[in-house]
Amino acid sequence: MLHTPVLLEESIDFLITNTSGKYIDATFGRGGHSRKILESISKDGNLLALDKDLEAIKYAKENFKNSNFSIKHSGFEDLDLINIPKKVDGILFDFGLCSTHYDNPSRGFSFKEAGPLDMRIDLRQPNKLVDLFETIDARSLANIIFQYGEEKESRKISKEILNSFKNGEINNTVDLAEIIKKTKTQRPKRIHPATKTFQALRIFLNDEINNLKIGLEKSKDLIKTGGRIVCISFHSLEDRAVKKLFAPKKISYPKEVPLNNEVIREFRVVAKKIKPKSSELEINKRSRSAIMRVFEKI
Ligand SMILES: C[S@@+](CC[C@H](N)C(=O)[O-])C[C@H]1O[C@@H](n2cnc3c(N)ncnc32)[C@H](O)[C@@H]1O
């Protein structure tokens, strides 16, 4: 399999509330979840999928011929620009990257095989990782590595990356990973020493957390009452943002205003912090950091 879908059974069980309903898979990837949705809905049901990566679009066009399926090359942050005639019954977000991104060194996400300093999910985006290294200062780079990678040695790593880059020593992703590995004094047990820095650079470059927030906010307007939004996150930054976006909104009035504070609930929590079962963890290592939350429009 090109990409093993995570929490497949659980996510689709929560998502489908009406077999003839309309659904959106906001992150098609290689269509693991889309295929399951199509198997679970009737011919009257409909699925629209999105992905920012042209390779995913090409794969869908070649492999998904169902008449009730369509795909658009778009970021979910632009959900409102897509022509969706009616409100939908469910939207699935399976954030992050596919295994195919890491397996193809030419995309620049892999620290195991040398690839260009790229890391763009959407190749229409102008700025690659190399452009970031050419323009950023050490302090800002350290902030990115700390904020999006929660990497404690961010300052040291940032300085070393920029010095080595200026000296012409970082020409590909393996050079970059080696510099990070040499710089770090703390050696993580289960992951490569460059994992957190690579994660941070990718999240920043693709503006992933902002896009997640915009996409989820827009999806709130598209979903019908009783419809569900299913979110699968892969690190705490994503999960925290998801949880916060669906938290009840508190409106407090100043003391002199004779009104009680209000709590506005637009969504009910259907499931929180669902993690893969041990049987899934055994066959798919990537699933170990997955966390799913499900919200239903009230
Ligand atoms: C974890 S994969 C999805 C895997 C998919 N559920 C499957 O089973 O094959 C995430 C996908 O989201 C895409 N993606 C990332 N950011 C996106 C965005 N802002 N809008 C749309 N797609 C995005 C990536 O290109 C990737 O294909």
Q: DSSP for 160-189, please give it.
A: HHHHHHHTT---SHHHHHHHHHHH-SS--S
The pLDDT value recorded for residue 252 is: 87
pLDDT digits (tens, 9 = 90+) for 24-66: 999 999 999 999 999 999 999 999 999 999 999 999 999 999 9
Most ligand 1 atoms within 8 A of CB, residue of 33, 47, 98 to mutate:
98
Q: At what angle do helices 138-149 and 154-166 cross, to 10 degrees?
A: 130
Six-digit token string for 38 = 């199509």
The pocket around ligand 1, CB under 6 angstroms, is made up of 3, 5, 26-27, 29-33, 50-53, 56, 75-77, 94, 96-98, 121, 211
Rg, C-alpha atoms of the chain: 21
The pLDDT value recorded for residue 261 is: 86
Q: Which atom of ligand 1 is nearest to the CA of 5?
A: 8
The pLDDT value recorded for residue 284 is: 92
Per the confidence metrics, is the pTM higher than 0.85?
yes
Q: Assess whether pLDDT exceeds 80 at residue 86.
A: no
The domains of the chain, with CATH numbers, are 8-99+208-297 (3.40.50.150), 126-205 (1.10.150.170)
The pLDDT value recorded for residue 85 is: 67
Mean pLDDT, range 256-285, rounded to an integer: 93
Rounded distance from Cα 255 to ligand 1 centre (Å): 46
Six-digit token string for 253 = 């009035």
